[in-house]
């Protein structure tokens, strides 16, 4: 048996854990911080809360509010220059994957020369970075615990993954109360992203015992709580389970990596502007069906069906796998995930999307089945129109 497994962040999980942000920074002896966020989290009142806790500990705050979804490389230098000019001693990232990933990349550029593109890949960042505290406000990416930052390369028209040493957060304050106000559509899309992480890492060629344990528990938590969190956003138990599930899915994919769903989702964000979660959610059921044509994958999907609470006794692996796919399709419909057509994707873009998908080398490499451009076009075609579960 051979595997690699590791997580960069120390986690404090639970209601009210955000209140510890000042205390944690005191432990790092940081008296001035760069707070990285986007307008949505500010409007939700979360940034104000965090700044209050920081000021209560007499920590000076420099704000960087320029993050947008699928954060582009173009904002990073500005963030790093501000941090250097203001001589901040630590970074606090508040938000979903976009602000957390932007903060990770800004942090790299504070102590390492730019441009950021030279660090695309694994373990290419050489100089240690400043302490980074991540405070997630979506139950989706799990970026608060991964050693990965995903940045849009605007000139190269692709998503870059910068990962490995010095790329993660040091501390994650994971507080379910911060996700209570997440709008239903964002809850649905980010939750399906987390489910995709769990499923893709479980069938990945790099899956290991520790990633499997986390992936299956994540499937259970997310599958059993997403519809409730979507319908009844103030249900704290559902929100807590979603945040735990998204975090555990990230424990799994940080080592096992992802697969074909993400390989297609990245170009869908770059070329069609789809939010990351929507792009994954649109593709997940059809890609599962594609992967499930492999007998080994059917066995793995049997475990996933079981983790979802489906009784698989007496079913063949194929039947159990079909049930897992049908359950994901049904969940997706119950939380109003759009078809690609409804999300604004045009058929004329399929060839370009398929070509870019095959360039997502890492995800393609670890996906359990090989794929050609033609097969990707077929998958896009399938996800283009809404289908009823089981059809």
Ligand X SMILES: NC(=O)c1ccc[n+]([C@@H]2O[C@H](COP(=O)([O-])OP(=O)(O)OC[C@H]3O[C@@H](n4cnc5c(N)ncnc54)[C@H](O)[C@@H]3O)[C@@H](O)[C@H]2O)c1
| Residues found near ligand X in the complex (CB under 6 A) | 38, 40-41, 44, 46, 69-70, 95-98, 101, 137-138, 140-143, 146, 148-150, 178-179, 181-182, 186, 190, 193, 276-277
Residue 141 CB, shortest distance to Zn ion, in Å, is 6
Task: Indicate the residue among 66 and 143 with the shorter CB distance to ligand X.
Answer: 143
Task: Indicate the residue among 232 and 316 with the shorter CB distance to ligand X.
Answer: 232
Task: Indicate the residue among 66 and 137 with the shorter CB distance to ligand X.
Answer: 137
CA-CA-CA-CA torsion sign (129, 144, 274, 65): negative
170 binds, among Zn ion, ligand X, none (CB under 5 to 8 A by kind): none
Residue 310 CB, shortest distance to ligand X, in Å, is 26
Contact call for residues 115 and 125 (beta carbons, < 8 A): no
Residue 357 CB, shortest distance to ligand X, in Å, is 15
368 binds, among ligand X, Zn ion, none (CB under 5 to 8 A by kind): none
Residue 257 CB, shortest distance to ligand X, in Å, is 11
**Cβ neighbours of residue 235 closer than 8 Å, sequence gap 6 or more:** 228, 229
- Cα 93 off chain centre by: 15
The candidate with the shortest Cα–Cα distance to 10, out of 125, 101, 131, is: 131
Residue 22 CB, shortest distance to ligand X, in Å, is 20
Task: Indicate the residue among 193 and 360 with the shorter CB distance to Zn ion.
Answer: 193
Task: Indicate the residue among 152 and 291 with the shorter CB distance to ligand X.
Answer: 152
Residue 367 CB, shortest distance to ligand X, in Å, is 16
On the CB side of 186, CA atoms within 13 Å amount to: 17
Q: What are phi and psi of 148, to 5 degrees?
A: -140, 140
DSSP assignment of 40-106 equals: HHHHTTHHHHHHHHHHHTT-EEEEEEEE-SS-BGGGHHHHHHHHHHHT-SEEEEEESHHHHHHHHHH
Rounded Cα–Cα distance for residues 391 and 379 (Å): 15
279 binds, among Zn ion, ligand X, none (CB under 5 to 8 A by kind): none
Residue with tokens 């709580």: 225
By the criterion CB under 5 A, which residues form the site for Zn ion?
Answer: 193
Task: Indicate the residue among 105 and 292 with the shorter CB distance to ligand X.
Answer: 105
107 binds, among Zn ion, ligand X, none (CB under 5 to 8 A by kind): none
At 15, is the secondary structure helix, strand, or coil? coil
Residue with tokens 């609470």: 309
Residue 306 CB, shortest distance to ligand X, in Å, is 25
At 162, is the secondary structure helix, strand, or coil? strand
Task: Indicate the residue among 9 and 306 with the shorter CB distance to ligand X.
Answer: 9
């Amino acid at each position: 048996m051979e595997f690699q497994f590791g997580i960069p962040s120390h986690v404090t999980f639970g209601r009210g854990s955000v209140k510890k942000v000042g205390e944690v920074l005191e432990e790092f002896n940081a008296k001035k911080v760069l707070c990285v966020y986007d307008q949505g989290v500010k409007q939700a009142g979360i940034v104000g809360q965090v700044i209050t806790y920081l000021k209560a500990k007499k920590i000076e705050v420099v704000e960087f509010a320029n993050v947008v979804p699928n954060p582009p490389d173009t904002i990073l230098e500005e963030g790093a220059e501000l941090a250097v000019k203001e001589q901040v001693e630590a970074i606090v990232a508040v938000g979903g994957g976009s602000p957390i990933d932007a903060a990770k990349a800004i942090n790299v550029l504070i102590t390492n020369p730019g441009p950021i593109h030279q660090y695309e890949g694994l373990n290419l960042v050489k100089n240690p970075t400043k302490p980074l505290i991540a405070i997630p406000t979506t139950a989706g990416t799990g970026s608060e615990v991964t050693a990965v930052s995903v940045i849009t390369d605007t000139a190269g028209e692709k998503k870059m993954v910068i990962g490995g040493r010095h790329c993660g957060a040091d501390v994650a304050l994971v507080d379910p109360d911060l996700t209570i106000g997440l709008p239903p559509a964002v809850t649905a899309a980010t939750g399906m992203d987390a489910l995709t992480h769990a499923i893709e890492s479980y069938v990945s060629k790099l899956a290991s015992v520790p990633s499997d344990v986390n992936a299956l528990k994540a499937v259970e938590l997310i599958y059993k709580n997403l519809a409730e969190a979507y319908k009844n956003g103030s249900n704290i138990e559902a929100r807590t389970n979603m945040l735990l599930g998204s975090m555990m899915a990230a424990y799994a994919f940080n080592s096992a990596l992802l697969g074909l769903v993400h390989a297609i989702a990245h170009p869908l964000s770059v070329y069609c502007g789809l939010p990351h979660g929507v792009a994954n959610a649109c593709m997940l059921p059809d890609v599962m069906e594609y992967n499930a044509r492999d007998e080994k994958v059917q066995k793995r999907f049997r475990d996933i069906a079981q983790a979802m609470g489906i009784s698989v006794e007496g079913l063949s692996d194929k039947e159990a796998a079909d049930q897992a796919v049908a359950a994901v399709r049904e969940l997706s419909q119950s939380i109003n995930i759009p078809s690609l057509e409804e999300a604004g994707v045009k058929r004329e873009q399929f060839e370009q999307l398929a070509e870019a998908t095959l360039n997502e080398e890492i995800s393609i490499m670890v996906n359990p089945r090989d794929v050609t451009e033609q097969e990707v076009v077929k998958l896009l075609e399938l996800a283009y129109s809404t289908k009823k579960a089981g059809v």
